[in-house]
Structure 1
């Protein structure tokens, strides 16, 4: 298109400016992904000076940096995990960070790939209890004297029920309550992830009163999940961002930053999972 004279030059300038504005508007257009911080899930989400920090907060910011067209909001608002899951299913929230894969969740949530991190699971017993188990069959053989305490609404509860034949009490909503129930004899074991369990024992002031059994009872990967209402194109972008963060070593670096517990939490020999 040809422009002549002062009027034409002015019109051209306006046209160029409009085109530039349109390009800029498209460049800064972002997709908002609503989420929430999960209560009682440190170090995934950690309350610090009134703010939510932790591994998942760092992962959210890393995703945004990797794909500036994605903006994750709401991760300074706290939710108990069952409510967060319900809001993902209803469409009130879009994504959740650090979810174990279970059959129930797979039915109505989408899992982004690759996994964010993996942890192992151990049983905790009272220090004065001589019990020693190396498999789920050992626990089953204890019958009603082998009750396992777990946190209500968490993925490991569904996992324990999937294994079958285990007595599970998931009435408590946090680790400290379960550890106190364990100490009071209201369960034989408490089931928790490692890294993570040593910090919960210290926080509850129970060092020396309970012990982590050495057998690794399970290993699980944790994922970013999304409600089924989320557009397929947005899931593709999340998968791409996570793949790039995984390939660069950033996911591993962030995991190491927040899960630094050890020698107690060093890798231990894995036992085969006996299923029924």
Structure 2
């Protein structure tokens, strides 16, 4: 027994001492999601998910992500993951439908908050989904097309109008074609600032829901690779790096 115990300890030591195996993982950038991946490529702010990706590479020597020259829409990101054509993607929300198609690392990368945007002169406070549902009877609540947010609102009996983008929704709100838009706080703050509508818009005081974003991985990614990714993320979480990156984009 003592000999077996020493053999186990020696094996574990050698595994720790051995240099990390070089490995390339296929990924892509999400198009039309400047908060996650900034197409302007500014070095100081390349996008929240891009910064987390680079931090993982730094925390886990030997891991490298390829395919970042590709900018693809969310629907295609999902298809590539489901078909196993990419190995990992930063960052995605969980849903039962998605979890049937691919896996998620257990460490949350950052949290998004569901909020509403109204014109600055709108004195109403919409603090619950029930109040939002009532308000939507007069004018539908705007949401970006192709997100899970629409299902969440419909389940709460909120009348919605899906539009092409948050930027389009802001312009409609500014022109009075709608009174409320609903979305993710980080994205909305970015688009309000980028559109120059900061003085004309306000974000409501209520947080309707909080959802963590995660690293998604193809369903058949080897367990050893998933473990390397998870340990890198745990280190970034423990060292406060994930929180710092998230705060930078709020």
Same fold by TM-score greater than 0.5: yes
In the alignment, what sits opposite 1:137? Answer: 130
**Structure 1 residue 124, shift from structure 2 partner:** 0.6
Q: What is residue 103 of structure 1 aligned with on the other side? A: 96
1-structure distance, mates of 2:29, 2:191: 19
- Is the contact made by 1:30 and 1:69 (CA closer than 8 Å) also made in structure 2? yes
Match of 2:157 in 1: 165
Instruction: Please state if 1:71 is matched with 2:64.
Output: yes
Q: Distance in 2 between matches of 1:186 and 1:83?
A: 31
Gaps of at least 5 residues in structure 1 are: 1-25, 262-276
Q: Does 1:36 align with 2:48?
A: no
> What is the CA deviation profile of residues 90-111 of structure 1, one whole-angstrom value per residue up to 9, with x for unaligned ones?
1121211121222322221211
Kindly report the root-mean-square deviation, in angstroms, between the aligned alpha carbons of the 2 structures: 2.4
Structure 1 residues 230, 170: CA separation in 2 closer, same or farther (over 3 Å shift)? farther
CA shift for structure 1 position 83: 1.3
Whether 1:253 and 2:241 are equivalent positions in the alignment is no
**What TM-score, normalized by structure 2, do the two folds share?**
0.82
Q: Work out which of the residue numbers 114, 134, 137 in structure 1 matches 2:107.
A: 114
Match 1:210 to one of 201, 207, 211: 201
How far does the alpha carbon of each residue in 1:141-200 deviate from its partner, in whole angstroms, 9 at most, with x for none?
Answer: 234325222222234334434x4312222231x221111122234433212222442331
Q: 1:12 matched to which residue of 2?
A: none
- For the pair shown, the structure with the greater C-alpha radius of gyration is 1
Kept after mapping to 2: 8 A contact 1:81/1:154: no
- Superposition TM-score, scaled by structure 1 size: 0.75
Measured against aligned partners, the alpha-carbon deviations of 1:121-145 in whole angstroms (never above 9, x if no partner) come to 2101123434321100111223432
Cα separation, partners in 2 of 1:58 and 1:120, compared to 1, 3 Å: same
SS at match of 2:163: coil
CA contact (8 A) 1:122 1:213 kept: yes
Instruction: Please name the residue that 1:227 is paired with.
Output: 218
Residue 6 of structure 1 corresponds to none
How far, CA to CA, are the matches of 2:211 and 2:48 in structure 1?
Answer: 17
Cα distance in 1 between the residues matched to 2:102 and 2:162: 23
Q: Deviations over 1:206-247 (max 9, x none)?
A: 223222111112111111111213222222221111111111
- Who is 1:125 aligned against? 118
SS in 2 for 1:144: coil
The alignment covers a number of residue pairs equal to 232
